[in-house]
Chains A and B, each alone.
Chain A
Amino acid sequence: MSDVKIVRVPLASTPRRAGVWLVVCALLSSLAPHVRAADNARQIVEESQQRTQAVSQRYEGVLQVFDAKGKVSDKRWLLERLGSHGTSRMVLRFTQPAEVKGVALLVVNHQDRASDQWMWTPAIERDRRIALQDRSTRFFGTDFSFEDLEERDVDQYDYALLGDDSLDGVAMWKIQSTPRQGKSSQYTTSTVWIRKDNYACARIENLVKDQVVRRLNYLDIQNVQGIWTAKQLEMTDVKRNSRTRLTLDKLQYNVPMKEDDFTLQAIRRQ
């Protein structure tokens, strides 16, 4: 059984390079069966993570929450992230609606364990640490739980390649990820769909025991500053039959940011 090398290619930024990129993608797709043969799920996820590395990220999130009856409520937040994956820090601050304006969440990710999270509530001028066992709770009435806001790091899970699949006609790898000991999670396992053409994550189904409880679809995948990014994420709470659509507006990577803006002191500044 021979190992298959993942070919890292320059990302498309000009029409000519885009052409090259398509050829390489096609080549990669043709290699897919060998990858499965090698059962190298971890390598695929590693590559997928590698391709989304950025020094920083900023976007304005537009949240639309649809309940089982189809009612919509809108929220907006500004998200800033410094670093990538296991070592990143993130501040998320609500900008709309007016009554939750200023509410902020600080997430400090760790490579070897679950993240630390604090929430700042301006109405009572206090921060509160979000305990590990509380992370399965829905975040501010959305279908994202606190844990879903953490960045996944490749080293926190074990992987198994479940096979090939396709979503909307696009070829995918279907991979099962199981949290390692030390990575406390509400989910027993997750099934991840990764596109074969650009290694972008397309779907994650989170399971408790054998039941799918939350499904995250990555939609409208675009190349932003060389990083294939879903501009729309849709999280479905299967039990509640409700879903939240997050649209990434004004997305930028590698924006200059300072570490000082990602501390508990910083989130209490409005």
Chain B
Amino acid sequence: MTRRVRIGCCALALCLACAVPAAAQSLTQRGFVDVGLALFPQAAPGDRTQATLDVLVREELFARPRRWLQVAGGVEVRGNTHAQVERVWRLDLGDRRERRPMLGVRRLTATVTRGPLTIDVGKQFIRWGKADIVTPTDHFAPRDFLTVIDAGFLAVPAARIVAQQGAETLDVVWQPRFTPSRLPLVDQRWTVRPTGSDGLRLLPSALALPTRDQVGARWSHTGDGYEFSVSGFDGINHLPNLVAVRAATVRDLLLLRDYPRVRSFGADAARPTRWFTLKGEAAVFRARDSNADDYVLYVVQVERQTGEWLLLGGYAGEVVTRRRVPTPFAPDRGLTRAVVARASYTVDSNRSVTLESAVRQNGHGVYVKGEYSQARGARWRATVSGVVLAGRSDDFLGQYRRNSNLTLSLRYSF
């Protein structure tokens, strides 16, 4: 971690520490302890583990020492039975390592508000776009793909200025330090071995991350009954290209990660009609070097909330305008050329059921997830979910067909 970033984080932490006692009237917190058990009926090549247990403790504090200043901080403590969490006790600020940190800073942000301006500085979550399952314009939102289909977001160190005047909003982001999406571990079931690699040991290459900064801007208009945004991004794709090369030792295969420079322009819009809300989002990705594809991602979806049902359905598409790379790790692109749908039903104030699915248009990959969740009292919630993955081995979804699973989680919120 660079000295500059360390100093910045320490300053923010100090600010938070000072703000907490000063803002007794405007201090809020939220947190939870979550224990999750994942069961896999099938063993996968190179990973015989069929049950994993996760523990996550999260605590977030929000203080408002002055009317114009808010400070937010959050930490996480994690444990896992399948070596997905580092076994080192140190405070991780960057969230850029292969494994999840045992003790990590989830967010650390100072927010200054002055009239129409809002300035956020620090490690923060930035979400762009309006679509729900695939979001092509969500450039500052790397994710934790350790288990691919259940990917949480990672905060990024950035400075963000938002100016809002009436119906117009301009959002400018500068991210000085790159945060990659976290990839599946090479010796675990969510990494699919390259063809012809039987008998070889798959090894990750030393992680060399790009050092350049990233910038993006988004202009949004909120009209009477519709809203739209246009955005631009110049930076690095947080999803890498993967290249397998023979290592010096004959029996090893080295998996190289290359994060391509990209420039992207996109737009998103939402328009409620009499029967449903129509949402669309699209982005053009242009590689700055010759190491990545040029492509367009787009999503068209409709959603409707009726009674206790929330229904969502749509199509995610991809047009590759110039293909250069055979094997990018790209879950966003992997969910395209697919019909996506989600339905959730609120049984009562404590119980809900959700079903979501993605089916590739050629039928080569299917993902279906069902979830039932029930709260008990004000603090406890139990969730059981089942995921079915099926398809052909050359399809992004189909390649995980041995990873269908059942998960049980119990959460205590405080």
- Please determine whether A113 and B224 come into contact, CB atoms closer than 8 angstroms: yes
- In the complex, B225 has a CB within 8 A of chain A: yes
Q: List residues 297-312 of chain B with CB under 8 A from any CB of chain A.
A: 304-308
- Please determine whether B127 and A67 come into contact, CB atoms closer than 8 angstroms: no
- In the complex, A46 has a CB within 8 A of chain B: no
Instruction: Report the stretch among B83-91, B199-207, B269-277, B394-402 that lies at the interface.
Output: B269-277
- In the complex, B111 has a CB within 8 A of chain A: yes
Partner of A263 from B70, B164, B304 at Cβ < 8 Å: B164
- Please determine whether B305 and A264 come into contact, CB atoms closer than 8 angstroms: no
- In the complex, B408 has a CB within 8 A of chain A: no
The size bracket of the interface on A is 35 or more
- Which B residue's beta carbon lies closest to that of A142? B349
Contact status of A260 and B115, CB under 8 A, knowing A101-B28, A269-B70: yes
- In the complex, A125 has a CB within 8 A of chain B: yes
| Chain B residues in 8 Å Cβ range of A269 | 62, 70, 111, 113, 118
Partner of A125 from B125, B305, B378 at Cβ < 8 Å: B125
- In the complex, A2 has a CB within 8 A of chain B: no
Contact status of A97 and B70, CB under 8 A, knowing A125-B153, A265-B118: no
- In the complex, A13 has a CB within 8 A of chain B: no
Give complex CA distance A126, B378 in Å: 24
SS of B interface (majority): strand
- Please determine whether A133 and B276 come into contact, CB atoms closer than 8 angstroms: yes
Give complex CA distance A137, B270 in Å: 19
Contact status of A97 and B127, CB under 8 A, knowing A73-B349, A141-B348: no
Q: How far is the CB of A45 from chain B (nearest CB, A)?
A: 26
- In the complex, B295 has a CB within 8 A of chain A: no
- A129-144 CB mask vs B (1 if < 8 Å, else 0) is 1011110111011100
- Please determine whether B164 and A264 come into contact, CB atoms closer than 8 angstroms: yes
- Please determine whether A99 and B307 come into contact, CB atoms closer than 8 angstroms: no
Q: How far is the CB of B410 from chain A (nearest CB, A)?
A: 12
- Please determine whether A99 and B308 come into contact, CB atoms closer than 8 angstroms: no
Q: How far is the CB of A160 from chain B (nearest CB, A)?
A: 28
- In the complex, B52 has a CB within 8 A of chain A: no
- In the complex, A220 has a CB within 8 A of chain B: no
Give complex CA distance A260, B67 in Å: 11
- In the complex, B72 has a CB within 8 A of chain A: yes
| Chain B residues in 8 Å Cβ range of A134 | 277, 304-306
- Please determine whether A265 and B164 come into contact, CB atoms closer than 8 angstroms: yes
- Which A residue's beta carbon lies closest to that of B62? A270
- In the complex, A43 has a CB within 8 A of chain B: no
Give complex CA distance A67, B348 in Å: 8
The size bracket of the interface on B is 35 or more
- B259-278 CB mask vs A (1 if < 8 Å, else 0) is 00000000000101111110
- In the complex, B350 has a CB within 8 A of chain A: yes
- Which B residue's beta carbon lies closest to that of A127? B127
Contact status of A133 and B275, CB under 8 A, knowing A97-B413, A260-B113: yes
- Please determine whether B111 and A133 come into contact, CB atoms closer than 8 angstroms: no
- A15-45 CB mask vs B (1 if < 8 Å, else 0) is 0000000000000000000000000000000
Give complex CA distance A75, B225 in Å: 30
Q: How far is the CB of A113 from chain B (nearest CB, A)?
A: 7
- In the complex, A98 has a CB within 8 A of chain B: yes
- In the complex, A217 has a CB within 8 A of chain B: no
| Chain B residues in 8 Å Cβ range of A129 | 227, 270, 272, 277
Give complex CA distance A75, B379 in Å: 11
- In the complex, B290 has a CB within 8 A of chain A: no
| Chain A residues in 8 Å Cβ range of B348 | 67, 141
- Please determine whether B227 and A141 come into contact, CB atoms closer than 8 angstroms: no
- Please determine whether B70 and A138 come into contact, CB atoms closer than 8 angstroms: no
- Please determine whether B349 and A141 come into contact, CB atoms closer than 8 angstroms: yes
- In the complex, B169 has a CB within 8 A of chain A: yes
Q: List residues 316-352 of chain B with CB under 8 A from any CB of chain A.
A: 346, 348-350
- Please determine whether A141 and B346 come into contact, CB atoms closer than 8 angstroms: yes
Give complex CA distance A263, B162 in Å: 12
| Chain A residues in 8 Å Cβ range of B277 | 129, 131, 133-134
Q: List residues 152-210 of chain A with CB under 8 A from any CB of chain B.
A: none
Give complex CA distance A120, B46 in Å: 42
- Please determine whether A99 and B375 come into contact, CB atoms closer than 8 angstroms: yes
- In the complex, B411 has a CB within 8 A of chain A: yes
Q: List residues 29-78 of chain A with CB under 8 A from any CB of chain B.
A: 65, 67, 73-75
Give complex CA distance A77, B212 in Å: 44
| Chain A residues in 8 Å Cβ range of B31 | 98
Q: Enumerate 24 A-B pairs (CB-CB under 8 Å) in ascending A order.
A: A65-B349, A73-B375, A75-B349, A95-B28, A97-B413, A98-B31, A98-B413, A98-B414, A99-B381, A116-B222, A129-B272, A132-B225, A133-B277, A134-B306, A136-B306, A138-B346, A260-B113, A260-B116, A265-B118, A269-B70, A269-B111, A269-B113, A270-B28, A270-B70
Sorted nearest first, the 10 A-B pairs with minimum C-beta distance are A141-B349, A98-B413, A131-B272, A134-B305, A97-B378, A270-B62, A99-B413, A125-B125, A131-B277, A101-B30
Which residue numbers of A lie inside 8 Å of B, CB to CB?
65, 67, 73-75, 95-99, 101-102, 113, 116, 122, 124-126, 129, 131-134, 136-138, 140-142, 258, 260, 263-266, 269-270
